[in-house]
Every structure is written in structure tokens, then in C-alpha cells.
Amino acid sequence: MPALLWLRRDLRRADHPALLAALDAADGALAVLFVVDPHLWERGGPVRRAWVAASLQAVQASYGGRIAVRYGRPDEVVPAVAEEVRAGSVHVTREVTGAGMRRDERVREALATQGVEWVETGTPYAVGPGLVRNGSGDPYKVFTPFHRAWQQHGWPAPAEDPAELSLLDVESDDEALELLDEALAVEDLPELPAAGEAAALARWADFCDEALADYTQDRDRPDHDGTSRLSAYLKIGAVHPRTLLADLAPKRSTGSATFAKELAWREFYADVLFHQPWSAWRDLRDALEGLRYDEPEDAIEAWKRGETGYPIVDAGMRQLLATGWMHNRVRMITASFLTKDLHVWWPVGARWFLDRLVDGDIASNNHGWQWVAGTGTDAAPYFRVFNPVLQGEKFDPAGDYVRRWIPELRHVEGKAVHQPWEVEDGYAEGYPRRLVDHSEERKDTLARYEAVKKG
């Protein structure tokens, strides 16, 4: 009996357990489907929509151009296609977010009325969220013990790549294809990276050859090309983290261990969201309940445009607008500025990042914001107020990153670019004055924290 594979966050062919399970059940008659879900499509920002469209177009080649693309509610579209191809089973990579699990339950129930089996195989993670627990059987709340347990738990080897795919020819609908085309034709889109599985693996190979050895030292330097830039591919499932971990295993270097630890952070945040799905948009910890926040609309818009008057902050925000990506160290600096210098509640920034980031992942993005804001998984958040000048001088010591993204400061040499107010002609090319005085806002932030702690 034919089988149907429904692709979601797994737009690849290699290391794809759900594909293998579908092939095993298909008896030579497999159909592949991608659903443009109006709920997700309309809520996603233009960058995310464009990245999905580009990634879907790229993966079509791996499936011989036979991925059917349909528009509509998954609980209506998937059963309809299953009936169309007379599938006895529908196969997916297991979803682990609250919204995704609720959607899948609706689809599973609809399929059950047709007598179609629902089969979940694998997850987007090396270790599925919910599997790593402490000795009492509870989930970990802090990263370090989670990381140790995650390593001890281990993960399977990458799944085999099917040698051949003989797929049923199922038509796409015009509305879905038009939406994909429109997503890629939006004006002012950032320059997206090359999409697809082959591009992801090529980027991984280049990173291993050129930057992995120095990753521990260079990963915090936005002025260096020292990061993997794989986050967008991991987000869309063009490559599985298990594939990367398998390549890292024989290297046994400081850089490879550090990179594996960064993958563990991604899995930790997914685990946190799995156990506390409400934490996507609410404070994970109530330690700051009652904290006073501001809503300075003009300042928030200036932050979004990269016009705060603090160069490292503005460089990061302009990099985001121009490329759909921002260096991770700078993500922390820009998030700290919004939450600690402008006193804005973290979901405002988290939403903007999700709208503009190619790699916008709700677990990593939103819990990363909470880590900075002091409402998340970190045990000691009260003293962390990043100084944007010192952060810039430490991680962009020659000012090259700032000058790359802020043309108004290219006439300022060296690390002086991080304090244009101290340079005689620092504002000669029109760079904006500082929105706030960091030292005063830091005092204000700590005072607000103290007021909450005292009750």
C-alpha cells in the first residue's frame, strides 16, 4: 500500500529516519508532501517565508522534483492527499514544540477516521527533547548538568541515505506555488545564503577546513569569519545535527568540543520549551515578576533600525536587516541593550528577531532572550548588564565589524570607533547621538531589580 511522507522541518534527503520509515512502508509507492500552512505562513516574517521558499525549491531536486506543495490547513490537506494517493500511512519527523504537537494531533485524529496510520520517526535533534532527565526523572533546569547528561545519553549514528527514490507524481496547487514565488520576490529582502542540503554540507565542509580549529577563540569575534553559519540550515532541517556530531567525533579537538557544546545549547533550549511550552512568550522564572518595564516606541524603532548611538549595537542591528543573520555575541549585546538600557520586556525583541532572522528558531531565540533578560535558565542574572562600549572593544578590538556595517563611522580609526562621542569628528558623517547614557540606565536597571527582590 502507498505511503505519504509529510516534510516540515526536515527539508533534506540524507540522514532522514522518517524518509526511510516511509520507504519501508510504501512498497515502492511513496508520495512526498509539503503543506503551506496559512497559520504559520501569515504569522512568519518576510525573511522566514523567503527562506522556507528557497529551501523548499532547493530540496525539490533531491526528490526528483516530485514534492507536492499544497496550501491549506494541515488537518484538511494531509488527509486529502493521503486519500488521493490511497496511502495506508503518513510519516513525519516528530514535532516537539507545543504548537506543532497540537497541529499534529489534529492531523492524526483526522487520518484515524480514514483508517490511515500516523507514524512519527526521529526528531530535529540529536537527542529528542524529553529524553534527557536527572536522577529523579525530572528535566534539567540548568545547562551544565544537562550538557553532561546529554553527552552520556548519546545519539544514534546518521541514518543511511536511500540509494534510489521512486516517487508518485502528485500535483502541487497553484496557490501554494504562487505564495512561494511571492515570498522570494518581496522587495528589500536581505541577501539569503545558498539554500538546500548541498549548500549546508558545503558550508560545513568549509567551516571544518578553515575555522573549526580556532572556533573556541574566534566564535565570539564578530570581526572574524569564525562561526559555522549553519543555524539557518539546522532550523529548516537541511542538515541534521547528528550528521555534524558524527563528523566531529573523530576530530577530538578543543574546537570540535566547543562546537558540540553549542549544539547542546540548541538541544537544551528545545528541551526547556518541550517541558514548559508556555515559556515561548512568558517568563520562564518568576524571579522578576512585577519588574517595571518601559515602552519607548521611538527608542524601540531606533533600536530596530540600528540608530541607538552605540556602535556595536547598531552594527548588529544593521547586519540583521541586511543579511537576516547576526553574530551570536552581538545578539546578546543588542538584546541586553533593549532589555537593560531601554528597559523593554524581552518578547518585543524576540518577536523582531524571529521576523528578521533566517535562522529564527523559537526555542533558541526566545530562551536566549530570556537568558539575557534574566528571566530564563541562568542561575545568576542580576549582575549581567552588558556595557556596549566594553563589549565592542573586547570582541571587535580594531573596530572592523562596526565600520563594515556603519558607513558613518568609517572615518574613525581603530577601537575609537566604539566611542565616537570621544572623537573630535566622530559625528561628522551623520552618525546618531546616543539615545541614553548607559551608566545611568545600568543604575536604573539594578534599582528596578532590587525593588523586585525586596518585594
Alpha helix stretches (DSSP H) within 168-212 = 174-184, 197-210
As a whole number, mean pLDDT of residues 243-272 equals 95
**What was the pLDDT predicted at 455?**
64
Q: What are phi and psi of 245, to 5 degrees?
A: -65, -35
Write down the pLDDT at residue 277.
95
Rg over alpha carbons for the chain, rounded to the nearest Å, is 23
Nearest alpha carbon to residue 154 among 127, 123, 122, 125: 127
| Whole-number Å distance between alpha carbons of 266 and 253 | 20
Q: What is the pLDDT of residues 295-311, one digit of tens each?
A: 999 999 999 999 999 99
Q: Percentage of the chain with pLDDT > 70?
A: 98
* Residue 44 CB contacts under 8 Å (≥ 6 apart), including other chains: 52, 355
Q: Above 90 in pLDDT, residue 5?
A: yes
Residue matched to cell numbers 547528561? 149
Whole-number Å distance between alpha carbons of 403 and 395: 14
Contact assessment for residue 339 and residue 332, using Cβ atoms and an 8 Å cutoff: no
3-class secondary-structure state, position 128: coil
Say if residues 250 and 344 touch (Cβ distance below 8 Å): no
* Identity at 136, one-letter amino acid code: S
DSSP string, 334-396: HHHIIIIIS---HHHHHHHHHHH-TT--HHHHHHHHHHHHTSSS-S--TT----HHHHHHHHS
Q: In this predicted structure, what is the pLDDT of residue 163?
A: 77
What is the per-residue pLDDT for 382?
62
Buried-exposed string 311-349: b where 16+ CB fall within 10 A, e elsewhere: bbbbbbbbbbbebbbbbbbbbbbbbbbbbbbbbbbbbbb
- For 37-60, the pLDDT digits (tens) are 999 998 888 999 999 999 999 999
Q: 3-class SS at 65?
A: coil
Which residues are within 8 A (CB) of 168 and not within 5 positions of it... i.e. 6 or more apart?
Answer: 2, 29, 30, 31, 66, 85
15 in Cβ contact with 243 (< 8 Å): yes
Look at residue 241 and tell me whether its pLDDT is greater than 80: yes
Cβ-based burial of 68 (10 A; exposed 0-12, middle 13-18, buried ≥19): buried
- pLDDT of 217 reads 94
For 108-149, how does the pLDDT look when each residue is reduced to its tens digit (9 = 90+)? 999 999 999 999 999 999 999 999 999 999 999 999 999 999
User: What confidence tier does 384 reach under pLDDT thresholds 50, 70, 90?
Assistant: confident
Which pLDDT score is estimated for 188?
87
Distance of CA 163 to the CA centre of its chain: 31
Query: Average pLDDT for residues 400-429, to the nearest whole number?
Result: 97
Per-residue pLDDT averaged across 160-181, rounded?
Answer: 93
Say yes or no to pLDDT of 78 above 90.
yes
Q: Is a pLDDT exceeding 80 seen at residue 346?
A: yes
Write the CA distances from 438 to 304, 309, 434, integer angstroms: 18, 11, 9
Mean pLDDT of 7-22: 97
List of domains in the chain: 3-122 (3.40.50.620), 126-157+198-275 (1.25.40.80), 286-453 (1.10.579.10)
pLDDT at position 289 is 87
List Cβ neighbours of 185 (8 Å cut-off, separation of 6 or more).
Answer: none
CA distances from 236 to 42, 118, 342 (A): 17, 22, 33
